[in-house]
Amino acid sequence: MDIIGLGTVAMDVILQVDALPHEDGFALIKDKQYLEGGSASNVIVQASRLGAKCGFISQIGDDEVGNAIKSGLDKENIETSTLIIKKNGTSLHTTIVVGENGKKFILLNMGDTFLSFDKKDVDINFIKSGKIFYTDLLPREASIFALSEANNAGLKTVFNLQIGLPLMEQFGVKKEDILNALTNVDVFAPCRESFTQLIGTEDYLEGIKSFMQNYNGILLLTLGSEGSVATDGKQIVKVPARKVEAKDTTGAGDSYIGAFMFAFFVKQMGLKQAMEFSTAAASITCKGIGARTSPGLKQVEEVLQG
């Protein structure tokens, strides 16, 4: 394996109805679709599409959603032999009810499988079969344990923080957990929102200088439409976003990190070149609808060649 991922995996169940119902009302379901998602699994899917050999660790239920999640990962050539399937379990998913003119409401079902995935269930030997370990630090106990074990085994480690600290706390991960985990992290990749909350200032350039006084790895900060900035403690590299007619930015950050791991660690590109490669991949993802519209290697190379 090149990359082993442990983190969020989910499914969007989209119900198209004739009209959104009022209180005590009814709606006729016209169509039902499954769209795979979950930030960590999106990242691993992108890396796999580019050519990395990937595996994924998590826990799902044996319900219809769980079956669709596993099937989706299998189709992407991702090793799922250590994916735990809980009997009579309910997999993490959202139900999105879409009515007239695209109006919708969203129901989040956390289920009883994802957050209950425990560190005793982590297959350490499977992790050690890889070269790179990736996590979004969810669920807390399993991710923190696996991250430490991966670092001790000599794997390169990547921690992607793509949601804000208040939501992380709702999932049981505190600020101190994040800071403590960084001692085992080679590449820390927060989004702008989570980074500013972590450092306590909106000035991310000043924040980078302050943050790097206590961190020895690579800090890779994604800035949405402003691009990305990174530092290895010696240099600060900034790469602008590519201008595209975006249809949906969902999953662009996941595509970026998946592409970066492939470019920087697997293909051994330099920091700036890897960032440019990742920016191209993310720009392609923005042209499609949904989180899994990330590109293959040929598509990225065509964009880079102009």
Q: What's 201's domain CATH number? A: 3.40.1190.20
The span from the CA of 62 to the CA of 84, in Å, is 10
Q: Kindly tell me if the per-residue pLDDT of 93 is higher than 80.
A: yes
pLDDT at 103: 82
In a domain, 261, yes or no: yes
* Digit-coded pLDDT (tens) for 212-266: 999 999 999 999 889 999 999 999 999 999 998 888 787 899 999 999 999 999 9
In a domain, 95, yes or no: no
Say how many domains are in the chain: 1
The span from the CA of 124 to the CA of 205, in Å, is 37
Helix (H) or strand (E) holding 188: strand 187-190
Strand 59-61 to 3-6 pairing: unpaired
Q: Give the range among 39-48, 130-139, 179-188, 196-205 with minimum mean pLDDT.
A: 196-205
Structural domain for 236, as ranges: 3-9+39-90+114-304
Q: For the chain, give the percent of residues with pLDDT over 70.
A: 100
Structural contact between residues 163 and 190, judged by C-beta atoms closer than 8 angstroms: no
In a domain, 109, yes or no: no
* Digit-coded pLDDT (tens) for 263-296: 999 999 999 999 999 999 999 998 887 778 899 9
Phi/psi of residue 180, nearest 5 degrees: -65, -35
Helix (H) or strand (E) holding 165: helix 165-170
In a domain, 28, yes or no: no
| Among 131, 155, 152, 146, residue whose Cα is nearest residue 2 | 131
- 3-state SS, residue 269: coil
Q: For the chain, give the percent of residues with pLDDT over 90.
A: 79
In a domain, 273, yes or no: yes
- CB neighbour list of residue 157: distance below 8 Å, 6 or more residues apart: 132, 133, 134, 135, 147, 150, 151, 184, 185, 186, 187
In a domain, 32, yes or no: no
Segment 78-96 shows an average pLDDT of 94
In a domain, 146, yes or no: yes
In a domain, 206, yes or no: yes
